[in-house]
Amino acid sequence: MTTPATPSQPTPAGDDRNLIAVDATYIAPTLEDKLHGFWKKNGTAVIALCVLVLVGIVAKGGWDYMAAQKEAGVQTDYAAATTPEKLKSFAAAHSGHSLAAVAQLRLADDAYTAGKAADAITGYEQVIATLKTGPLATRAKLGVAMAKISAGQTAEGETALKSLASDVAQAKGVRAEAAYQLASLAAEAGRAEDVKKYSDQVAQIDPASPWTQRAMTLRASLPVAPAAAAVEVKEDAAVPAGVQIKLPGK
């Protein structure tokens, strides 16, 4: 009779097929060890990134400083431009700057006052081209309209004034002045109904505006149209004795 084989060891309940024997001398790396390893591997890249950031900060600071110095210089030059010739030189030297547009606006106003409508139109249009939007650009648009009227381009100027007066996006002061100028032009042309229409528009835009007071004064100065006296003679009307009526052609 054969001797039975020795039974094998029973299989544990858990799956230990992938277990690796642990060396009793192994020590888990500490946080300091991990940081040291990271720095050894990526230290050069980190230093380069820090240098780039530092250079960017220094460069931006230098740029801001230079821009501030340049702006201060522009402001100083503008303050020194106390004559028309100096204003022209300033505007030419700093073309595109907002203060150059202010200088151009002053020059355009002077040209308009002096009766140089063409020069005024050119100056106002330069302001609009530089500033695009804002109170000064709107002021220049009003100047262009008035200068065109002064230059004999009345229809084009009145159209521009009507556009400004009706544009609710514009400042009330500019709209009220535009409407008043329309009323003034109507008064000069003897268009009483237009004077009333535009003076009412001024009052609607800003009742407390000085332009409203001027518009009402302008309206009150209009001559009163004489009433037509029509005398109607009825054929069957009784004529008092002794009164003769002479009809035309009789």
Rounded to whole angstroms, the Cα distance separating 52 from 56 reads 6
Contact 106, 87 (CB under 8 A): yes
Higher pLDDT, 83 or 11: 83
pTM comes to: 0.62
Q: How far apart are CA 78 and CA 91, in angstroms?
A: 9
* Ranges in the chain annotated CATH 1.25.40: 84-152
Instruction: Judge whether residue 96 has pLDDT over 50.
Output: yes
Least confident of 139-143, 159-163, 210-214, 232-236: 232-236
Average pLDDT over residues 166-182: 95
Third-level CATH fold of 84-152: 1.25.40
Query: Residue 43: which H helix or E strand, with range?
Result: helix 31-80
Per-residue pLDDT reduced to its tens digit, 28-62: 777 777 777 777 777 787 787 777 777 777 666 66
C-alpha pair distances (Å), 22 with each of 19, 27, 61: 9, 11, 57
User: Averaged over 68-87, what is the pLDDT?
Assistant: 79
**Confidence at residue 75, expressed as pLDDT on a 0 to 100 scale:** 79
Instruction: Categorize the per-residue pLDDT at 246 as very low, low, confident or very high, splitting at 50, 70 and 90.
Output: very low
Averaged pLDDT score across all residues of the chain: 80
Instruction: State the pLDDT confidence band at 225, using cuts at 50, 70 and 90.
Output: low
Query: Is-contact 182 214, C-beta < 8 A?
Result: no
